[in-house]
Structure 1
Amino acid sequence: MIALSAAAQAETLRVAYWNTDLNRAGPGLLLRDLVAGKSTDLTTATAAIAALNADLLVLSGFDYDAGGLALAALNSALPLPYPHLAALRPNTGIPSGFDLDGNGRSFEPRDAIAYGRFPGEGGMVVLSRLPLDAGAGADHSGLLWRDLPGADVPPLPDGAADMLRLSSTGHHDTAVVLPDGRHLHLLTWHATPPAFDGPDLRNTRRNHDEAAFWLHLLNSPQTPQPPFVLLGQANVDPAKGNGNPAAIRALLADPRLQDVLMGDTVDYGGTLGSLRVSYILPSAGIAVTASGHAPTPEGARHHPIWVEITP
């Protein structure tokens, strides 16, 4: 158990995650639409975010720009804007220079370090009511896939393994400053889906290894001290659907984590149907007082999910 001060014991935080799918087809288009204020999906999204009433909110499927302008525009559209923001730079759309999908061309979205029509497509952002400490966090998104212990890297063009990163969107540790001065670490990721594969099963292998990264981190000297919350889009269900569920099953069974929010988080329809692909896993020792799935916003695919914790 973590020893908490009286003030910290009284502090309940709502932590939420939502894969928004708000990404656009080109750079700057999300910002354009946010400024115009006329896109139905964005109007619906801001209403859904406001209804979540989260103290700490992580969104994925949100295009990155270096100045955080799109995030600032979204935040300003909320009835109660967040005082602390972080746009997490993804690996999506960064050219690799290699023909990774073997179709004879080298600068298409599937040849990028991670799928993307432009650098930054479909990134992740953090909106927080509490201060963020950039110096106490970490960005693990530069780790080469081959350098993950036990990595299941498929055959690649000569030289590609020297630059191909594991993270598709990213593996980030964002440190939140709690009222008593301690840090709560948000460990976030959005894995590539185990689909749209060729015979080498590159996406399926990568999806598994992106979840396996957290097992590696938890067993390494780089693991953050509790309390922390692991959350994001694993893009794999532990019991059904496509993909290799071994790593996500191991995370759900790990005694250092709490699996408090079960149930499907998306309905893809067709043969895939309803799956659990989004996760919030508080570290052991955090008191979880409530959890739930918010309704899927109209036109969206994924449920926002949330937990209330006393870290």
Structure 2
Amino acid sequence: MKRAALVVSAAVSAALVAPTANAAEPVRFATFNASLNRAAEGELLADLSTPDDEQARKVAEVVQRTRPDVLLLNEFDYVEGNAAVDAFRTNYLARGQRGADPIDYPYAYTAPVNTGVPSGMDLDKDGTIGGPGDAHGFGVFPGQYGMVVLSKYPIGQARTFQQFRWADMPGARLPDDPATPEPADWFTPEELAQVRLSSKSHWDLPIDVGGRTVHFLTSHPTPPAFDGPEKRNVLRNQDEIRFWADYVTPKRGDYIYDDEGERGGLRPGARFVVAGDQNSDPLDGDSNGIRQLLQAPRVIDPRPGSVGAIEASLAQGGANGSHRGSPYFDTGDFNDEKPGNLRIDYVLPSAPLIPLRSGVFWPTSEEELSRLNDASDHHLVWVDLRV
């Protein structure tokens, strides 16, 4: 274990020496499910309105220690008008946390998501209309579990796909009611005309990196759990991931339309980085839908990892002992009995972007920064790219 501690020290040190916002230098892209979600609308903004929220301080310190240039935060409750984002930047990121240097993100993007938005339909088939299970994405209020992108580089005109209908995806994996002989009939035809694919949203954000555009493709598919024999969440997770695989593959994304009605996928040859908590491990857990994206043309998997994840897997045991995948690549620290720790957070660049270094911020217990491991049940994933 002493040797492992030395290895992770080098990894953490590498993360602390971050590239600067200069197109000639490597650019650090990152994703972090920060668990900055709250149980009621308005609670996150209240927590961030002062610099004293302990969890937010830890999240900010993780960001300050790793210093991404372009960062996706998952599970950051959406507040109209950027008020929560601005409060986090001002009260937390702009203040050095426990000796870390402040960090400035002059550009930010957030937008409405499907979580908590009432559908007016009984989508979970519990006999009543209303509640988190009947929202367009599971949530108790609109915007819960939202997303934020912070950037040192200008963000161009976004394409959003919040309202794209699941049934409009060719060959969609629609859930089936096991009590009837008809296939794929969990939702009625009337419901299918309204059911959305994205549980939060899918965003295509063009980032101007020194005159070169990198499309930051961000999302947060539903967990492949908390459903029944119809497996509607498992299937939705797979198709939410497939969306990006189709979007970046020439001609396969022709069916896609955005919230403004513009059709088609990404322009062939465009540079992109797919990022987010995909809730899918390629080998373990309840959904392996991420394989669709890992196998898509031009997608590069830098396979970031950490020694801290190995230590956690060995110490926690349980389901971790039967996993097929190496714990080195885990990004989430979950229930030991099921599903165990998993790799579910990704930063996946495209050719011709060149990955130089990558890592998962998960210090071992011997490291002083291990005090940040409980900031979230996920760990920040970063990749340095030559653009």
Q: Which residue of 2 aligns with 1:251?
A: 293
Return the alpha-carbon distance in structure 1 between the equivalents of residues 354 and 385 of structure 2.
6
The letter of the residue matching 1:52 is: T
So what's the TM-score if we normalise by structure 1?
0.92
Q: Which residue of 2 aligns with 1:111?
A: 134
Return the alpha-carbon distance in structure 2 between the equivalents of residues 299 and 188 of structure 1.
21
Q: How is 1:110-189 mapped onto 2 (pairs within 5 angstroms)? A: 110-134=133-157, 137-154=158-175, 155-179=186-210, 181-189=211-219
Task: Give the SS at the match of 1:159.
Answer: helix
Mean Cα deviation higher: 113-122 or 72-81: 72-81
1:299 Cα deviation after fit: 4.1
2:122 is the alignment partner of 1:46: no
1:288 Cα deviation after fit: 1.0
How many residues in Structure 1 have an aligned counterpart in Structure 2? 299
1:227 Cα deviation after fit: 1.2
So what's the TM-score if we normalise by structure 2?
0.75
Does the 8 Å CA contact 1:88/1:172 hold for their aligned counterparts?
no
2:115 is the alignment partner of 1:97: no
Listed one character per residue, the Cα deviations across residues 256-289 of structure 1 (whole Å, up to 9, x for unaligned) are 1001024111121222111111111100110111
Task: In structure 1, list runs of 5 or more residues that go unmatched.
Answer: 1-7
Does the 8 Å CA contact 2:121/2:129 hold for their aligned counterparts?
yes
Does the 8 Å CA contact 1:265/1:277 hold for their aligned counterparts?
yes
Q: Which residue of 2 aligns with 1:222?
A: 265
Q: Which residue of 1 aligns with 2:24?
A: 10
Task: In structure 2, list runs of 5 or more residues that go unmatched.
Answer: 1-21, 94-101, 176-185, 254-263, 305-328, 363-371
1:250 Cα deviation after fit: 2.4
Does the 8 Å CA contact 2:331/2:378 hold for their aligned counterparts?
yes
Q: Which structure has more strand as a fraction of its residues?
A: 1
Return the alpha-carbon distance in structure 2 between the equivalents of residues 94 and 205 of structure 1.
20
The letter of the residue matching 1:152 is: R
Q: Which residue of 1 aligns with 2:35?
A: 21
Return the alpha-carbon distance in structure 2 between the equivalents of residues 35 and 49 of structure 1.
19
Return the alpha-carbon distance in structure 1 between the equivalents of residues 57 and 347 of structure 2.
25
2:74 is the alignment partner of 1:60: yes
Task: Give the SS at the match of 1:67.
Answer: helix
Please tell me the root mean square deviation across aligned C-alpha atoms, in Å: 1.5
Listed one character per residue, the Cα deviations across residues 4-37 of structure 1 (whole Å, up to 9, x for unaligned) are xxxx872311111000111001111101000133
The letter of the residue matching 2:139 is: G
Q: Which residue of 2 aligns with 1:307?
A: 383
The letter of the residue matching 1:23 is: N
Task: Give the SS at the match of 1:37.
Answer: coil
Q: Which residue of 1 aligns with 2:321?
A: none
Q: How is 1:56-95 mapped onto 2 (pairs within 5 angstroms)? A: 56-76=70-90, 77-78=92-93, 79-95=102-118
1:200 Cα deviation after fit: 1.2
Return the alpha-carbon distance in structure 1 between the equivalents of residues 124 and 297 of structure 2.
38
Listed one character per residue, the Cα deviations across residues 14-72 of structure 1 (whole Å, up to 9, x for unaligned) are 11100011100111110100013332211111111111211101100000011010011
Return the alpha-carbon distance in structure 2 between the equivalents of residues 216 and 255 of structure 1.
10
Please say which structure displays the higher CA radius of gyration: 2
Identity of aligned residues (%): 39
Q: Which residue of 2 aligns with 1:3?
A: none
Task: Give the SS at the match of 2:226.
Answer: coil
Does the 8 Å CA contact 1:177/1:183 hold for their aligned counterparts?
yes
The letter of the residue matching 1:294 is: F
1:203 Cα deviation after fit: 0.5
Return the alpha-carbon distance in structure 1 between the equivalents of residues 292 and 332 of structure 2.
21
